[in-house]
Amino acid sequence: MRAKIYITLSMALAIAISSCKKSLDKPLLGALEAPLLETKDGVNGLLIGTYSALDGMAGTSAIGGGNPWETSPDNWVLGGVAAGDANKGSIAGDVSEIEPIMQFYSDPTNVFYNSKWKADYEGISRANTTLKVVAKVTTLTDAEKANIIGQARFLRGHYYFDLRKIFKSVPYIDETTTDFNQPNNTDVWSKIEADFDYAYKNLPGTQTSVGLVNKWAAGAYLAKTYLYQQKYTEAKTVFDDVILNGVTSNGLKYGLNDKFDDNFTPETENSKEAVFAIQMAANVDPDGPTNANNGDMLNFPYGTNSPFPCCGFYQPSADLVNHFRTDASGLPYLDDFDSHPIKNDMRISSSTPFTPDAGTIDPRLDWTAGRRGIPYLDWGVHPGDSWVRDQSYAGPYSPIKNVYWNATQDVDGDNHSWAPGSAINYNVIRFADVLLMAAEVEAQLGNLAKAQSYVNMVRTRAANPAGWVHTYKDPKNPTGGFTNTPAANYKVSPYPGGAFASKDFALKAIYFERKIELAMEGHRFFDLVRWGIADTELNAYFKYQNTVTTDLRSGKYIKGKNDYYPIPQRQIDLSASGGSPVLKQNAGY
């Protein structure tokens, strides 16, 4: 009996030894291995994934880690707050990382830089993966391949453009790169040009889905790339083509929307003015507003009776608001706008009566900055202080362009998280931007009349009374509709014939028009830098704004240094393979 037990045990032992070897081979669970994606649908999925990186988000955080607002695709911090479009907002100490950025004393360790850097390179990495895989797919026609390659290269161009304008000196990685520790000592403009040029020449004019980029979006971006390099002649050629022949991916001939605000409502998105828009969708993810412009989640009015749960950031600056003052003929005060300030309700509590400014104002203001006494979309008349988190810190105004409407809040607003998401697309390039860029090119080339005609197209659209903010039919029921009475004393006119008499004046007017037309859209800082006027403009801004708010007291712009943001210290440290870092810091940091 014992012998039997021993034999059984020994056999069991032997079996145990032999059978367990196989079980050490465990498969990948719940994810795909690369070869499974080398199909038409697979590569199209990778392309969608490349688009998905446009919003800079991965779920409820930034795509490379960090907070959503650090990688917002509209660059509201690096392009907007830092350029005087807006105050940071909220209260002192809230997202304190922005405080050094907006006052230009940040150092390379600031988390915003690293997050942004990683988000853009993630987009590039996805584009490169798509390009690598598309080469292995055998079932695509040449045209289909060219379309996918064109889109992937367009998107890669976009991510590099973002990096180039923010950081200037960035390493270049494409689908052939195997060593990812590349130096940042060559200018990537030529690579960006090549990508957009390929896309411009190879993409079709229309696409099966409205969100897919087409030939004309590529053309506009290519021309913008030329403009940033001051290659005006090359830019003009492409801009002319785009303005004359451009259509959207769904086949609409490029043009300005009749109403300015149609650019900022989901109901009119992907209109004829949308050249390249990042598509946002609300309420598609029950776990949070992950596809609903999470990067702007902080940027809603905030206060005791604000209908939004958070957070009071990105408050249009008093200086920006003053830009919208028009003179009796409906033209702007190009130089002395701050001498004609628009009356605000600083230090006036919501329960104390206040009468808004009665002077002439560009109607675009009230689609750009929420201010006391004026209907705030259909949320009610802006009550001032009680919708502002700390007036004395960041001023009395609220952002609008990223804010959804009350009537459609269940569709366009996304309240699955502690701060709202929104279905409003972000227009990376809209046709008004194209016109103003083209105007700049024409002015630089001396075609002042042409430049003026482009600017006047934009101003004429602004002058359409149908597109103005009107008073509520019943202020107690703001969703009940609007009257035909303008909410303020709006007046805006095209420049009279011959107004662009000199190149200097033309450029000044164009720069100003860009400021007000594209305000709060994240372009301002990069425009100021390429125009070379960031130091004078911003130091003047600090001087004025410090008379209104307390948040910018340390603000000081240093030309040469602050034109570009620093290469993230973390990335420099990580590039120190074998001793000295491969990445070099920008001048001045």
Binding mask 496-525 for another protein (x = CB under 8 A): ------------------------------
Among 194, 247, 411, 445, binds another protein (CB under 8 A): 411
- Phi-psi region for residue 65, left (φ > 0), alpha (ψ -120 to 50) or beta? left
Strand 413-414, strand 369-370: pairing: unpaired
Q: What are phi and psi of 429, to 5 degrees?
A: -135, 125
- Give, for 87, the enclosing helix (H) or strand (E): strand 86-89
> Would you tell me how many other CB atoms lie within 10 Å of the CB of residue 389?
20
Among 360, 444, 456, 575, binds another protein (CB under 8 A): 575
Site for another protein in 50-79 (CB under 8 A): 50-54, 57-60, 63-65
End-to-end CA distance of the chain: 84
Among 69, 83, 84, 97, binds another protein (CB under 8 A): 97
Shortest reach from residue 209's CB to another protein, in Å? 5
254 vs 434: CA distance, rounded Å: 10
Shortest reach from residue 142's CB to another protein, in Å? 23
83 or 133: CB nearest another protein: 133
DSSP state of 275: E
Shortest reach from residue 154's CB to another protein, in Å? 14
Site for another protein in 16-35 (CB under 8 A): 16-17, 19-21, 23-26, 28-34
Binding mask 531-550 for another protein (x = CB under 8 A): -------------------x
- Phi-psi region for residue 204, left (φ > 0), alpha (ψ -120 to 50) or beta? beta
545 vs 84: CA distance, rounded Å: 9
Among 39, 40, 48, 258, binds another protein (CB under 8 A): 48
75 vs 317: CA distance, rounded Å: 16
93 or 498: CB nearest another protein: 93
Site for another protein in 279-338 (CB under 8 A): 279-288, 290-291, 302-305, 307, 309-311
Among 56, 89, 266, 384, binds another protein (CB under 8 A): 266
Site for another protein in 109-148 (CB under 8 A): 109-112, 114, 117-118, 121-122, 124-126, 129
Shortest reach from residue 405's CB to another protein, in Å? 13
Among 39, 100, 540, 546, binds another protein (CB under 8 A): 100
Beta partners for 82?
Answer: none
Shortest reach from residue 381's CB to another protein, in Å? 15
25 or 142: CB nearest another protein: 25
Site for another protein in 174-213 (CB under 8 A): 180-182, 209-212
Among 47, 134, 369, 439, binds another protein (CB under 8 A): 47
427 or 447: CB nearest another protein: 427
73 vs 269: CA distance, rounded Å: 17
When asked if residue 358 is in the footprint of another protein (CB under 8 A), the reply is no
495: nearest Cα among 530, 459, 447, 533: 459
12 or 334: CB nearest another protein: 12
> DSSP letter string over 305-371?
T-SS-S--EEEEPHHHHHTTBB-TTS-B-TTTGGGSPPP--TT--TTS------S-B-GGGGGTEE-
Give the alpha-carbon dihedral of 66, 172, 428, 286, to 10 degrees.
-40
